[in-house]
Amino acid sequence: MRVAVYREEHFNAAHRLYNPAWSDEKNDSVFGKCNNPNFHGHNYRLIVRVTGEPDPETGYVIEFKTLSDLIKEHVLRHFDHKNLNLDTPWFRNLNPTAENIAIVIWNILRKQLDNRLDLTVRLYETERNFVEYPAA
């Protein structure tokens, strides 16, 4: 009788995609306009899914506000209105593609949740480009 609980949050950040081991030409050819040296940015839409059994006394798997506060404290505080490449420790040596950002957020939140709860992270880079980790 497992129920999935979803909470959507948003953060606005700058980033740049490139591989420092590559030439400028190769970076341009692979990452195109996403490799702009002065960065560009997105309104990232983040949907966190937590799965478990509802507590019989409250009817909650996890309270929406509790989940929202966890995301704000452990993700948004570090990501919102930041430059992902320059202002956060996670993307010093990791390209901030949507795939990698979703994996980083999953690793951050996984540590904050009880083991009986499962976790999935969906991240929208734009309305039409998005990722989910782990894939079902």
Is the separation of the CB atoms in 2 and 54 below 8 Å?
no
Nearer to a copy of itself, 31 or 74 (CB): 31
Q: What is the helix (H) or strand (E) element at residue 50, kind and residue range? A: strand 40-52
| Residues within the interface to a copy of itself (CB under 8 A) | 1-10, 12-15, 17, 19, 21, 30-34, 36, 38-43, 51, 54, 57-61, 64-65, 80-83, 86-87, 94-100, 102-103, 118, 125-136
DSSP structural state of residue 38: T
Q: Which of 9, 34, 42, 78 is catalytic?
A: 34
Nearer to a copy of itself, 14 or 74 (CB): 14
Dihedral of alpha carbons 66, 99, 20, 44, sign: negative
What's the token pair of residue 48? 């966190």
What's the token pair of residue 87? 């202002």
Taking the complex as a whole, the smallest distance from the CB of residue 129 to a copy of itself amounts, in Å, to: 4
Answer yes or no: 81 catalytic.
yes
Q: Which residues are catalytic?
A: 34, 81, 125
